[in-house]
Amino acid sequence: MIQQKIREIARELLTKKEVDLIIGFGEGTLPLRATPVFIRTPEEADRLIWNSFCDNNLATYLHKFSRFKVGLVVKGCDARAVTALALEKRFKPDQLILIGVPCQRMVDRKKVKKAVKGEILQAHEEADILFIRGDGFETQLRREDFLYTSCQVCTHRTPTQTNVLAGEPVEEHPLLKTHPEVNEFEKKSPEERWKFFEKETSRCIRCYACREACPMCYCTECFVDSSKPKWIGKGLAPSDLEFYHMVRAYHQTGRCSACGACERACPMEIRLTYLTQKLNQEVKERFDFEAGIDRDAPPPLSTFETEDKQEFIK
What part of residues 84-143 is at the interface with other proteins (CB under 8 A)? 110, 113-114, 119, 121, 135
Strand 137-142 and strand 129-134: pairing? antiparallel
Q: Find out whether 85 and 216 touch, Cβ atoms under 8 Å.
A: yes
Binding footprint of other proteins, residue count (CB under 8 A): 40
> In whole angstroms, how close is the CB of 181 to other proteins at the nearest point?
14
> How many residues comprise the chain?
314
Residues 6+ apart with CB under 8 A from 277: 150, 153, 179, 181, 182, 258
Cα(140)–Cα(190) distance, integer angstroms: 42
Closer Cβ to other proteins, 254 or 260, answer by number: 260
Site pattern 251..290 for other proteins (x: CB under 8 A) = -------------xx-xxx---------------------
Cα(38)–Cα(271) distance, integer angstroms: 30
Closer Cβ to other proteins, 165 or 214, answer by number: 214
207 in contact with other proteins (CB under 8 A): yes
Residue selected from 4, 41, 64, 194 as contacting other proteins according to rule CB under 8 A: 64
Closer Cβ to other proteins, 28 or 174, answer by number: 28
Name the DSSP class of 147. Answer: B
What part of residues 19-58 is at the interface with other proteins (CB under 8 A)? 28-30, 33-38, 56
Closer Cβ to other proteins, 183 or 202, answer by number: 202
Give me the amino acid identity at 74: V
Closer Cβ to other proteins, 63 or 309, answer by number: 63
> In whole angstroms, how close is the CB of 308 to other proteins at the nearest point?
37
Cα(26)–Cα(45) distance, integer angstroms: 10
213 in contact with other proteins (CB under 8 A): yes
Cα(7)–Cα(185) distance, integer angstroms: 42
Give me the amino acid identity at 273: T
Closer Cβ to other proteins, 20 or 301, answer by number: 20
Closer Cβ to other proteins, 255 or 264, answer by number: 264
Q: Find out whether 143 and 128 touch, Cβ atoms under 8 Å.
A: yes
Of the candidates 5, 67, 4, 8, the residue with the CA atom closest to the CA atom of residue 42: 8
Q: What is the dihedral of CA 81, 86, 90, 96, to 10 degrees?
A: 90
> In whole angstroms, how close is the CB of 124 to other proteins at the nearest point?
16
Binding site for other proteins (CB under 8 A): 28-30, 33-38, 56, 60-61, 64, 110, 113-114, 119, 121, 135, 202-203, 205-209, 211-213, 225, 233-237, 264-265, 267-269
